[in-house]
Amino acid sequence: MKRHKIILLVFLAFFMLSFGYFKKDAIACELIGVAQFYEVSPNLYVDKSIDNLQQGKLANAIEAAVKRVSDVYGAPTSNPRIIATAEAKYAKFGFNPTGMQTSGFFRECIFLGPKGLNTDVVAHELVHAEVRHRTNLLVELTQLPAWFIEGTGIQVDYRAPFLLENIDVTNEDVTKIRSVFYLSDFPNTNVKYYQASLIAVKPMNPKNMYTALERLNNGEQFEDVFSELL
């Protein structure tokens, strides 16, 4: 009996450690207020690397990003927690050099690194947050391909590599990216894949996206819904 208890405790400990590792971004999202980050306005957390001037510029960038998403897709209903740093040691918590969106346990969350304190990156990540906010977990895991998630984000990201006049991808490139379903398989260091994702979603009227996501929640299949839009 004692051996069984020990085995159970070891299993539970292993499970908790594994869960903590794979969900570290979600944990950081929920607990960021107890770290060296502080809330400077509702749902905006920064650390000491962002001074008052930068805070003002970031607030303006967020406001402009929300307007851009609203203009393209319609008013967002998600209200993600945004956590920002200009610190070079951006790998701590959930940061990368630019930005990333993650789902916490109770909210959507956006981490902004030193290169992501601008309207383009914020708008890009806001779309990710909105898509996940509007879809249930089953839809997110089984219906939303990586190229769609990234392409809809790039649609509001006006950095130079993503402007149509700077994109040169082939039909083969677009076909290749449309075969990538999981984000873990998406080559996120290759600009061409992001460009191909944008071209893949371009035929869709962005004003129809929210309604299409609702249809997925109601049990329709991605191929059926978006074959009408893409």
CATH code of residue 101: 3.30.2010.30
Would 3 be classed as within a structural domain?
no
Domain end position, chosen among 119, 134, 149? 134
Predicted confidence band at 10 (pLDDT cuts at 50, 70, 90)?
A: very low
> Which backbone phi and psi does 111 adopt, to 5 degrees?
-105, 130
Q: Where does a domain end: 134, 156, 191?
A: 134
Phi, psi of 97 (to 5 degrees): -60, -25
Q: What pLDDT is stored for residue 141 in this prediction? A: 92
Of 84, 101, 134, which marks where a domain is finished? 134
Same domain, 149 and 91: no
Range of the domain at 34: 28-134
Mean pLDDT along residues 51-80:
97
Q: How far apart are CA 155 and CA 57, in angstroms?
A: 23
Q: Is residue 50 part of a domain?
A: yes
85 found inside a domain: yes
Q: Render pLDDT for 168-225 as a digit per residue (tens, 0 to 9).
A: 999 999 999 999 999 889 988 899 999 999 999 999 999 999 999 999 999 999 999 9
